[in-house]
Amino acid sequence: MTPRLLIDAGNTRVKWAAVSGRRWLTRGEAGYDELAALSAQLAEGVRVYVASVASDAQIARLQAALASADIRWLESSTCFAEIENGYASPIQLGVDRWMNLVGAWHRVRGAALVVSAGTALTVDALNATGRFIGGLIVPGSELMRTALRQGTARVEPAGGGCRDFPVTTADAVESGIVAALCGAVETQYARLAAQTASRPPRCLITGGDAGRLLPHLRIAVEQVPALALEGMAYVSEEAERI
């Protein structure tokens, strides 16, 4: 089986996995200024698949690290296996969100809320038949802090903790951010659950801020750190057959 190098190129970091068939060989993660370990994965015969939402400058760094590779750029599609993309314009759905949805469906095979907590928070809903019925995009925690820092004169947005009733400004900021992010997840979960009353939906969460939200969510949530890569593994495996 020809080995494949899967690369999930996000807004701030790159995650990768080397796979052979459905067997995972190794995984890694790095910032865009530290891609040497990724370059080391380029053994002879490895096919490279990239799902990217990165900026042009970050893509240039990634391409430099993969200079010897034949890169296959993945995109969102109207469907994959049993999964149907219900976006108004399916190709405009972020490829990271699509790969998360593919990975989630192969884990759950039923209704699921798919949450990615990174630079932005995305909250996407799969119904019981595998149709993506829509989702939210919310500024992530650091974007919210930046907005407060830039838009207010006397609010220090750093260094706080999450409290039920904050009595310091720093705690109020952190608690407000967590409440906003968790509220988006819980609201969408309730909406999806109302459509799937016979069997409650599962909730999967991925992304660098997942650990920040997990203690505060009031629904059952499963953390899946490499969810997009799992989706990429299925999509790239199918591409190898074509």
Neighbours of 120 (CB within 10 A): 18
Q: Is 96 a catalytic residue?
A: yes
Q: Are 3 and 20 in contact (CB under 8 A)?
A: yes
Q: What is the pLDDT of residue 43?
A: 77
How many angstroms separate the first and last alpha carbons of the chain? 15
* 30-48 per-position pLDDT tens digit: 999 988 888 888 877 789 9
SS3 (DSSP) at 136: strand
- Examine the pLDDT at 50 and tell me if it is beyond 70: yes
Which segments of the chain are extended strands (E)? 3-9, 13-20, 23-31, 47-52, 71-73, 79-80, 83-85, 112-117, 120-126, 131-139, 202-206, 222-223
Percent of the chain having pLDDT more than 70? 99
Of 35-49, 75-89, 137-151, 197-211, the least confident: 35-49
Q: What is the pLDDT of residue 191?
A: 97
Domains annotated on the chain, with CATH: 3-73 (3.30.420.40), 79-141+167-227 (3.30.420.40)
Q: What is the pLDDT of residue 157?
A: 72
Q: Report the run of H or E that residue 99 belongs to, with start and end.
A: helix 95-108
Q: When comparing pLDDT for 110 and 21, which is higher?
A: 110
d(CA 177, CA 14) in angstroms, rounded, equals: 25
Neighbours of 240 (CB within 10 A): 13
d(CA 76, CA 232) in angstroms, rounded, equals: 11
Q: Which of 8, 70, 96, 164 is catalytic?
A: 96
Percent of the chain having pLDDT more than 90? 77
- Interhelix angle for 141-151 vs 169-195, to 10°? 130
d(CA 95, CA 151) in angstroms, rounded, equals: 31
Q: What is the pLDDT of residue 61?
A: 92
- Examine the pLDDT at 116 and tell me if it is beyond 70: yes
Q: What is the pLDDT of residue 1?
A: 67
Identify the band that residue 225 occupies on the pLDDT scale cut at 50, 70 and 90.
very high
- Examine the pLDDT at 109 and tell me if it is beyond 70: yes
d(CA 122, CA 139) in angstroms, rounded, equals: 9
Q: What is the pLDDT of residue 242?
A: 66
- Examine the pLDDT at 150 and tell me if it is beyond 80: yes
* 167-220 per-position pLDDT tens digit: 999 999 999 999 999 999 999 999 999 998 778 999 999 999 999 999 999 999
Q: Are 157 and 170 in contact (CB under 8 A)?
A: yes
Q: What is the pLDDT of residue 15?
A: 95
Neighbours of 99 (CB within 10 A): 26
